[in-house]
Structure 1
């Protein structure tokens, strides 16, 4: 009984057998092509029978790791002449190879698989497709190969850039056959439809190349099927990419006019309208952003011009600044050198002066020694003593002159200080005396003015109170109260008293209270009469004060005053006249005293320098003009005092 093998073992045996057969060096390319088709077909069919989908992926990985797929690439890369024109088998091998490359799990060789192996597969497939383009009878084979390329691109998005930049794909695009162009566009449509994330994984350059191909077909081809497929591809790209595609569409100027003029009325007007609306909407947005970008560009240009101008001016100013700095530095250095030379010259001069002075002193001493040698021995001591005396006299004269000058200057300073002190004291005493006199006179006048102001204020208050109408007494009836009304009110009061008799107060007590009230009312009325008399007296005094103030205000000057005019200013009151006369005499006597007599006085109002004996003489001299009258007036004043 035969033991049934596992699927993995069968697949490994198939791959190993296929690899062993391919390693035979005597096989021709056609034999390898057929061997690969049969082996791959059998292996894929055997793996597809199993329910587990992982078996197929494991088989594809085993084919890649064993190197079978590399043999497929070598065979597909051969020229058709080497295959004896068996292009159908080559297309089948291309389809099988692309199927084996989808779903492979290379494991640790993933980077090599994606970067080296897959691009070589795409290059081989496109090479085969380019060879099939030149033969019109091989359209079905070309479609099969392009479907294989699309299937491979849908699984591996990064191969798109390789396809679009391939030389073989450019040869396919150059072909004028309508079917070839249609198949290329359909390949991209199928790829985008099969994988919705295909376009989002592409770079901007790849998307631009793909868009360029679709728009190039619209510009070059006149077939409606190719145009419809191109429009459908662009709309599919716009739906998947969204706003990312709109700026790229604007790079193709005149696309909307091309669609409107050349492709309208071909059976796909709806797609054309959608594409034109998409382009127009993006143009409006771009026009707005372009206006703002133009403003930004203009601002950048202005800023660049201004900064360049500032830089040029700064460079020019730097040259001037350097020249100014150098000039100032050189001037400063020259000045320092001159100062140093002047200092050296001064030091040299001082040194020369010291040297010459020392030399002169030395010559003087030598000459003096020579003279001493000429003198006799008994006269040398006398000569030296005379020299010492003369030197002492000179020194003493200088010292005494200095001492006298110093003593004189100190004495002068002391005298000046004393004179300034005396002047300061005299000035202070005079100021103090003047202030006291002014204060005494001004104080008396101020008191009089304050008293007058107080009296005037009271007078005005009384006048204002007099203008207010007096309130009628409460015991007098209101205005308009008749005798009948008064009798009626008395009757009502009697009725009320009779009805509401008081049990606490008897009628006798009520009559007593009534009499007391009458007495109090009488005393109030008498007091009011006395107050009115006092007010009248105050008003009379205020009127007299006002009269006196008016006389003082309208008084004539002293140069034209007469005795009659002076009598009008005398006070009729004896005490007031006597007090004014004494104060005036004291002020006159104090003003005539020397300043040294006023040093001890603190209050001029309490000092009477003249005494009472000089008052009659002063009155006779002044005629009683400022002291309240003459001698006869004084006697009259004394009589008034006796009467008071």
Structure 2
């Protein structure tokens, strides 16, 4: 369809007759409308349309009608697929932008200017990168639009485009200003650092020279000391060799003086002396080795002795503190004189207060009396324990009965199972319960003025013949609740 549109556009530009031009223009617009309808239905075709060279050729024309139709197609593509500008490369966008900017700058037709302005506005609104691209490539565009196209009938679109371009240019100017400020700050900082370093350079050189000279002087002193030590060792070695040589020469001189018959004795004495020296050195080496082996054990033994001494001292101190705080004081051992004096006091007391002598019969009689009294005491103690137990059981039973009577329900609320709780097999208890029951019944029938008295009237003439059979249990009712 782009090829068809290109062919129709070429025929339209070359046509001379008005009827033919109008017919070709109508066909061209119909092709553009069909292409718009196709792209709006299939948005994936928008990228392919913009990438085609035929589209750029259709746009690059000076005819107002055909260029307006092509820019309308561009606007329809951008409205159908706003993300298409992110998908096509910059090499494809640059020619389209160049052609739109050329139309805005070269022509003065309001229709072409309006279409170009709308197309450019859609492009910069859908892709912010195009705003930076336009601000970078076309620096005088904002002033051109404001001077040339103001008051041409499309002020709203123009003002929106100018606002977008102004914001982008302002951001670029702000970024450039910040960049220049950063460059100035970096230059000043680097200059300050270099000047500071240059000011410190003489002192650093002096310090470096001083440290280098000190190090070189120290190295020279170290080398001098090493040379002196080496010379001293060589001197000592020479002295030792000289002394050994003199000693050997002296021995040879002495051997020349010794008689030939005493040579064996002299050699034997020399060998014994050498053997003694070897033995002394060997024993010293052996003892030192054994001492090094026993040194660790000896150290452990000394440590154990020290710990034991400290522990014994601590225990002795604690024992002394405990004895000082204890209320019981240990008596000192008596001496012989004190022991004899105390024994004399005991003997004199026994003489003044002699013990009473008893016969065997008296002792047996006294023993019998004691046993009899002890038996009576044990019997009475058992009886007291039984009575005490009986008293405690009776008190417990009375407390239980009282608690049951206090919590007894009224006759209206009583059930058959409650009868077992108030059943007693004791005749006195049953008699007392019957008397209380009859008294309460009579009292309930009294008039109101008679009930004002606080005296509690009891029936004393209860006959034993009226008692029920006690073998099957007796029911007694007590309390203040009305039946």
TM class, shorter-length = 0.3 to 0.5
Of structures 1 and 2, the one scoring higher in RCO (CA 8 A, sep 6+) is: 2
TM-score using structure 1 length: 0.31
TM-score using structure 2 length: 0.39
